[in-house]
Structure 1
Amino acid sequence: MSGRTGKRLVVVLAACAVALLWTVGSGAAAVQRPAPAPVYGPSAADPGLLRVGSQYYAFMTGGPLGEVARSSTPGGPWTAQPNALSRWGAWAAGTGAVWAPDAWQTSAGWVLYYAAQAKGFAGQRCIGTAVAGDPGGPYTPTDTPLICPILGGDDPAADRPDPTAGVIDPSPFQDSDGRRYLLYKTQKTPGTIRMFPLSADGLHGRGELSHELVRHADSIENPVMVKRGDQYVLLASANWFDQCRYSTVWRRSTDPWSFADKQEHVLLDQANTGLCGPGGADVVTGGSGPDLIYLHGWVCTPDDQPCQYDGVVTDPNKRRVMYAAKLAWGQDDATPNVPAFLPPVPPR
């Protein structure tokens, strides 16, 4: 599929609709193009992506036990799979939906991280783990959460940066030395991103607490870490998820624990894509294909046109759909940019 990546954009427009525009580049050299079309819907929030051989798996908020879709090409067609989880973890309240699941392979098998409401935590969420023998699942949850601020005492799962706030948006990262980590958001204002050292099997901590990487005066969430040479690139979603100004931003550092003083850059927002709230992104690297970025955005029409709101998106028909794009890294090989979105591939 690498030969097709970014060669064209396919947009489904209503007969009387005016095309939205997104911009590649900036200034006089900017090129305006129609807003990209989603590669998957009808609902696809917070996509966490796996590329395993020639297969792609997208894990998404919803369910209630988490949603999964599968495709043999990066642009689809995507086919819905059974729930991500086989059941609720024993620690979970069993209400609401699984949030922002994401998976990778470790010595324990395929490990899924997810956020769910915890028992006795007033509706707040903790982060749990689940294991499967197949990347598409279903995943069997472990009985105790991995990170849960409500826990205390000698419990090894009690990483407690703020015991009154839940934790969401787990995102695994493996450094070039083989050590594993989990990034996540502490659900409070101002928003914060933290990183937690993991055991080799990805199911436990290694006796160290998490550390705050960055905070945002408004909100920041959905972290993703990518190593490029000696540079660590931290991508995240800034501002509030229910608004069109929600955007994908990035910072860069030579120290994976030090981003607070690094400049924030916008990668994708409404102005340069034409999408409403382009965020919740995950990155696909490695394997035989090109680097890709998957994200969600709000649409408000049956033909998947982006919502048009200055504030909170209140349209009763709103839903989040998944977009895919090629991810490039600039002349220095460490500056992320999106040269083109992928067109959706229709079912045969």
Structure 2
Amino acid sequence: MQRFPRYSRRATLITAALTLLSGPVTRARAAGPRDTDASDVAHLVIDRDFPDPDVIDVDGTRYAYATNSGGTNVQVATADALDGPWRRQPDALPSSNLPEWVGPDAQGFPNVWAPDVSSREEGTFLLYYSAFHPGNQQQCLGAATAESPGGPFVPAGPQPLVCGPGRGDIIDPASFVDSDGCRYLLYKDSRGARARGGPATIRLRPVAADGLTQQGPETVLLRSTRPEEAGIVEAPTLVRRPEGYVLFYSANAFDSGRYFTNYATSSALTGPYTKAPGAFLSKDKLGGEVTDPGGQDVVADASHIVFHGDLAEPGGPRGMYLAELRWNGLHPVLIG
């Protein structure tokens, strides 16, 4: 999702201070003024800057990954249960492992955003991420592999996986494996590089089982078409249900105070997708307790959804929230 401009100096200092703490720094429920049940729906499970969460389960251990923060390119936390406590782990993609095409932007950051980790058939793990390409002056998608879900991940090649002149930022990668075993890569394509309110689409590209070899043209699954989206649809998460496909997405600017998560449904993988009315996750839907809920991921059995929300002011640190789901056909329902 869009993360430009960078956090305020105050928020950055807070994040850096938290990074210096040793031992577990997260808990199942936060103490103090943020100890809220968000109207008995969403629970804060990582009370520090942990944007764009992605969660997988490996042999009973939950791994959560997040956008760069506190000097870490790909944040990792582990837990025995989704509600924590979550334990901080080393950087899954240390700077020494960044490929040659990744470099600093005008503010000096490589912008390693929205990591997505999935397992491959042979037991290795695949990391998708977005990072800044100085040569193209845009965000591009990269890939890396590792023997362990915690990394360290090694770049899959010297060039980005998806990029190119004339395109806008390519961000928010997500992996999807269909019921027939075919693998796909989803991402957001913004035709105006970092253009607030610029046109955006969510796209699907078939890839080989290794996740690295492109096997066909991309398909546009979703466009920004509603005024409340402010020209932005991003953070795709695709879920296969017995009745068809559910595409979760976030919309509006991530730090606007009006960021929200919604979903669209289709009977076929490539669409057409029909957006659900209103919003699935929003400040109003969550009783005013969580501002800017988005960057979501649905756990493998589709019983829970994780997402980030502002811990203080919009544009500052974002913690990870957890909510339970049930399903009415293709329509998810929040429990609470």
Shorter-chain TM-score tier = 0.7 to 0.9
Q: Distance in 2 between matches of 1:20 and 1:69?
A: 22
Q: 1:230 deviation in Å?
A: 3.3
CA contact (8 A) 1:247 1:268 kept: yes
Any residues of structure 2 matched to 1:286-297 within 5 Å, and which? 286=301, 291-297=303-309
Specify the code of the residue in structure 2 equivalent to 1:242: D
Q: Distance in 2 between matches of 1:173 and 1:235?
A: 13
Q: CA RMSD in A?
A: 2.2
Specify the code of the residue in structure 2 equivalent to 1:58: A
CA contact (8 A) 1:184 1:193 kept: yes
Q: Secondary structure at the match of 1:336?
A: strand
Residue-by-residue CA offset, 1:89-141 (whole Å, 9 max, x unaligned): 1221254331000111114620000000013112x111011000011111111
**1:197 counterpart = 2:206:** yes
Q: Distance in 1 between matches of 2:325 and 2:99?
A: 35
Any residues of structure 2 matched to 1:29-40 within 5 Å, and which? 33=39, 36-40=42-46
The answer for the alignment partner of 1:145 in structure 2 is 160
Q: 1:212 to 1:267 in 2, by over 3 A?
A: same
How many residues are matched? 286
Q: Distance in 2 between matches of 1:194 and 1:272?
A: 27
Q: Secondary structure at the match of 2:284?
A: helix
**1:249 counterpart = 2:262:** yes
Identity value in percent: 35
Q: Distance in 2 between matches of 1:243 and 1:299?
A: 14
The answer for the alignment partner of 1:83 in structure 2 is 91
Q: Distance in 2 between matches of 1:101 and 1:66?
A: 7
1:60 pairs with 58, 62, 66, which one? 66
1:93 pairs with 103, 106, 119, which one? 103
The answer for the alignment partner of 1:121 in structure 2 is 136
* Structure 2 unpaired stretches of 5+: 1-27, 193-197
Q: Distance in 2 between matches of 1:221 and 1:77?
A: 29
**1:167 counterpart = 2:170:** yes
Q: 1:201 deviation in Å?
A: 1.1
Q: 1:167 deviation in Å?
A: 0.2
Q: 1:11 deviation in Å?
A: 6.4
The answer for the alignment partner of 1:325 in structure 2 is 323
Q: Which has the larger radius of gyration?
A: 1
The answer for the alignment partner of 1:49 in structure 2 is 55
Q: Distance in 2 between matches of 1:135 and 1:294?
A: 19
The answer for the alignment partner of 1:29 in structure 2 is none
Q: 1:256 deviation in Å?
A: 1.5
Q: Secondary structure at the match of 1:251?
A: strand
Flag the structure with more relative contact order, 1 or 2, with Cα contacts below 8 A and sequence separation at least 6: 1
**1:275 counterpart = 2:284:** no
Q: 1:203 deviation in Å?
A: 1.3
Q: 1:21 to 1:80 in 2, by over 3 A?
A: closer
Q: 1:13 deviation in Å?
A: 4.2
My pick for the range that moved more, 171-180 or 265-274, is: 265-274
Q: 1:107 to 1:328 in 2, by over 3 A?
A: same
The answer for the alignment partner of 1:72 in structure 2 is 80
CA contact (8 A) 2:41 2:324 kept: no
1:335 pairs with 321, 324, 331, which one? 331
CA contact (8 A) 1:243 1:276 kept: no
The answer for the alignment partner of 1:178 in structure 2 is 181
Specify the code of the residue in structure 2 equivalent to 1:74: L
Q: Distance in 1 between matches of 2:275 and 2:331?
A: 14
Q: 1:181 to 1:43 in 2, by over 3 A?
A: same
Q: 1:282 to 1:40 in 2, by over 3 A?
A: same
* Structure 1 unpaired stretches of 5+: 1-8, 23-32, 151-162, 301-306, 308-312, 341-348
Q: 1:259 deviation in Å?
A: 3.5
Q: What is the TM-score of this pair, normalised by structure 1? A: 0.77
